[in-house]
Amino acid sequence: MSVEARAAALELADEVLRAFHGDACARVGALLLKHADGLTLRDLRRRLPDQPDVASALVALLQHGEGRARHSSIDESRPPVYSVDLHAVLRRPRQARALRALRRHTQAGAKVVEACLEAGCCSTQKLREVAQEDALLTQLATYGVLAKCDGVEDYRDVNTNTLFDEKNRDLPTETASKAKSRAAAMGQALHSDDGSVWRCSHRALKALLRREATLDVIEKKLNKRMRRVAAALWDLGAVRAVPITPAPDPEDDADQREERENSYVLKYAAKVADVEALIRRRHGDAAAKKVGQDLELLQGDHIRVVSSQRQKYGRGESQETYLLEPERCRAYIRSETVRALVKQKLDSDAARLHRALSEHEHLAESDIAERALLPPKDARTKLYALFHLGFARHVELPRQADRPGGAIQLWKADCERSRVVVLADTRRALARLLKRRRFECEKDEGLDPFSLDDARAADPRKRERLRGRLDRLDRAILQLDEACELFEDDD
């Protein structure tokens, strides 16, 4: 992480801790983020002498999974060292979007997840009181939504599993070893009441958000019918895991890489008949009539939302199988966002020039000007403007290899640098919005923002104006957090 990107991340983390936990947790968290190796409780109290509730703030961070504790000695004779997980803090604002997406699948499950997120971690007895039925908790654990607070989450299979869906209760298959072990752990905790503590798996919530984002892109770009087909592919497990699956081996040649790719598609791709059966069960016979044509349209789209391959079944019969590609949707949204930002900071000519750089690698200035329909002088000016903003880079090559002097510049879009720049800018903007929201809440001491519905708190007109301002700020915060998630690396 560059210095600029880390500074923006730390600024946002400070505002997130202040907004969700208060000033004490913000001060403790900022100090722990500054000391990456961690500090003991004694060191924290010595560095924060005017903060009496350091221990309570540390407990709050640990309870919500944003703090970490480790022992510096094997025999645990020395006091533990505490630190803060920066990524866990930055994930906190997107919990509201995850709950909104989860309510589309199950209202009862969303209540359990909301209670668990609010408390940070919950005992089995507390979850049972909220859920009111043990079967719901078992299903949430099976799908990886609830995880035991006994170490690092290793439920990586929830990246491709469908979360709990009341209309489709048999996915994922409970015969899978990991899903079966999760169900057994919850069943044992419910039966024996052993005091187990559970928290929401951030991997499961991220998988849900990624699923909804991919389907939203397909619906906005195409139509709602295509969304249903893509949702069926995802729920059948015919989706390529992120970031790249299978992982490329640098020692493989082209034939070996193609064989690994084909073996992955053969394992996870879905047949048209399976997609039709799932859509028919969910939406009726009329919705399943043109599934084959819809899959071909998704494959023929310019971002190639779906990839296909023919497989042999039975007595030599071959059928077309399909695999959903969510990373291509994310790459498409990233490129469109970057070009919109270039257009906003510069102009439409610069955005057209950036598109030419993205579609072709290592172009000379004359070729770029021709493809962007710009005069060479204007193209050069805009190229250097993109370079200074971090959206383009160039490579100098000698005109003649055997003669020194004289070089030609070849340009290309700098995708990684542009990702870092956009992410840093978005995080800074999100931090300013959180700061603005805190200012709006503290501006009028007589109006408590947490009791806006109480007519006795203040003048009703004043309360309505504050409510409108806070609603607009909340919507903007969720939109910027969605952009942050789009440009973040996969952990």
d(CA 227, CA 298): 10
Query: Taking the mean position of all CA atoms in its chain, how far away is CA 274?
Result: 29
Q: What is the pLDDT of residue 240?
A: 79
24 conformational bin, left if phi > 0, alpha if psi -120 to 50, beta if neither:
alpha
Q: What is the pLDDT of residue 123?
A: 84
Q: What is the pLDDT of residue 154?
A: 41
Per-residue pLDDT tens over the stretch 60-74: 898 888 888 887 766
Question: Could you count the other beta carbons within 10 Å of the beta carbon of residue 67?
Answer: 23
Helix (H, G, I), strand (E, B) or coil at 146: strand
Q: What is the pLDDT of residue 14?
A: 92
- On whether the CB atoms of residues 294 and 226 are closer than 8 A, the answer is yes
- Confidence (pTM): 0.81
End-to-end Cα, the chain, rounded Å: 13
Q: What percent of the chain has pLDDT over 90?
A: 10
Q: Name the stretches of the chain with pLDDT < 50.
A: 151-175, 242-246, 452
Burial (CB count <10 Å: 0-12, 13-18, 19+), residue 298: buried
Q: What is the pLDDT of residue 168?
A: 38
Tell how strand 197-200 and strand 146-148 pair up: antiparallel
Q: What is the pLDDT of residue 331?
A: 87
12 conformational bin, left if phi > 0, alpha if psi -120 to 50, beta if neither:
alpha
DSSP string, 261-275: HHHHHHHH-EEHHHH
d(CA 113, CA 98): 10
**Angle at CA 271, nearest 5°, toward 269 and 274?**
115
d(CA 331, CA 486): 9
